Amino acid sequence: MPIKVCIAGATGWAGSALSKGVANHPGFELVGAIARKKAGDNLAEVLDLGPGNIPIFADIDTALEQLQFDVLVEYTKPDSAMKNVLAALKKGINTVIGTSGLTEQDYKKIEEAATTANTSVLAVGNFALTVVLLQKFSEMAAKYIPNYELIDYAHESKIDSPSGTARELAHRLSNVQESTLFVSEADLVGIKESRGARLEGVQVHSVRLPGHVISIEAIFGLKDEKLTLRHDSGASAEPYVQGALLAIEKVGTFKGLQRGLDSVMDF
C-alpha cells in the first residue's frame, strides 16, 4: 500500500518541488494539499502533475474532515505551522516538518502532542544532504573546540530569524557543549546587539540580503588556527526533495519527536 501524503504549502517554492517528487514516487500517493490562495483548485492542474484530481484545501481542519492520509508534510510558515502540526497529530497522523522558524518551546509542545497521540514527528531544519553532513561535522568539531559561532545567511524577504537551519544546528551543538562567550553581554561596550543573539548557549548571527538563498556557516577557533564549515544552497529547491522523500518514508518507523534527517539515516 502506498503512503498517502498531504502537503501543507504545496504550491510554494519548496512545496511545489516536493509535490512533484511525491507525485512521481512509486511508494507514495499525493492525495491532497493545503494552500489558502489556491483553495478549491486541482493541484494536478496547478503544478502540471498529469491526470487526476488532487484537491487543494484552505486549511488543515477542512483537509482532515474530507481526506484520509498517513503523513502530513508541513511546509508553510511558523504562524500556521503549529496549528497544522497539532491538528494532524491529534488525528493520529504522522508529520514531517520542513517549516523554518519554530522555537524550542514549539518543539516541546509538538513532542508532548506526539507522545500523547502515540504518533511520530520528524522535524528537519534543512533536507539537503550537504546540510546533514555540515551538522555531523560541526558536532564532531564542537567536541574538541568550544569556541564557535554560527552565521545564518538568507534572502532579504525571509521573515524568520534565525532560520530553521541555524536553530537546528544551534540546538545540536549546544547538546555537545555550549560555545565560549569570551566577553559577557554585561561587559560589552557599544551596541550589544551587534554581537548577535545567544540561542541555547550558542552565539548566532543572521544576515538577510539579496543574492542569498540559504547558507549556514559554523566557525570554530583556537589559538592561531580556525576551522570554517559552510553550506550554500542554490536557487533551485531540488536539493531538498530527496531528503524530504526519505523523511516521509521514515517518519512512521518511530514514535514521538525526532529532529534532524540524520536521525533516520545510516551514518
CA 161 to CA 163: how far, in whole Å?
A: 5
What's the helix, strand, coil split of the chain in %, to 5? 40, 25, 35
Q: Residue 234: its pLDDT value, please? A: 87
Instruction: Say whether both 12 and 101 belong to one domain.
Output: yes
Average pLDDT of the residues in 4-22: 96
- pLDDT category of residue 261 using cuts at 50, 70 and 90: very high
Instruction: Say whether both 122 and 250 belong to one domain.
Output: yes
Q: Are 264 and 247 in contact (CB under 8 A)?
A: yes
pLDDT digits (tens, 9 = 90+) for 213-239: 899 999 999 999 999 999 998 888 988
Average pLDDT of the residues in 118-145: 95
Q: Are 74 and 98 in contact (CB under 8 A)?
A: yes
pTM of the predicted protein model: 0.86
Q: Is the pLDDT of residue 83 over 80?
A: yes
Q: What is the CATH number of the domain that holds 145?
A: 3.30.360.10
Instruction: Say whether both 92 and 162 belong to one domain.
Output: no
Instruction: Say whether both 7 and 120 belong to one domain.
Output: yes
Instruction: Say whether both 134 and 113 belong to one domain.
Output: no
Distances (CA, A) of 76 to 36, 81, 227: 10, 6, 34
The domain total for the chain is 2
Contact residues for 112 (Cβ-Cβ < 8 A; gap 6+): none
Instruction: Say whether both 98 and 194 belong to one domain.
Output: no
Instruction: Say whether both 8 and 116 belong to one domain.
Output: yes
CA 43 to CA 51: how far, in whole Å?
A: 10
Instruction: Say whether both 133 and 203 belong to one domain.
Output: yes
Across the chain, what does the average pLDDT equal? 95
Instruction: Say whether both 105 and 141 belong to one domain.
Output: no
H-assigned helices in the chain: 13-23, 43-46, 60-66, 78-90, 104-117, 129-144, 164-176, 238-250
CA 206 to CA 167: how far, in whole Å?
A: 11
Q: What is the CATH number of the domain that holds 123?
A: 3.40.50.720
Instruction: Say whether both 107 and 202 belong to one domain.
Output: no
**Is the four-CA dihedral 90, 96, 99, 105 of positive or negative sign?**
positive
- pLDDT category of residue 191 using cuts at 50, 70 and 90: very high
Instruction: Say whether both 122 and 192 belong to one domain.
Output: no
Instruction: Say whether both 189 and 228 belong to one domain.
Output: yes
What is the extent of the structural domain holding 250?
3-127+236-264
pLDDT digits (tens, 9 = 90+) for 52-82: 999 999 999 999 999 999 999 999 998 899 9
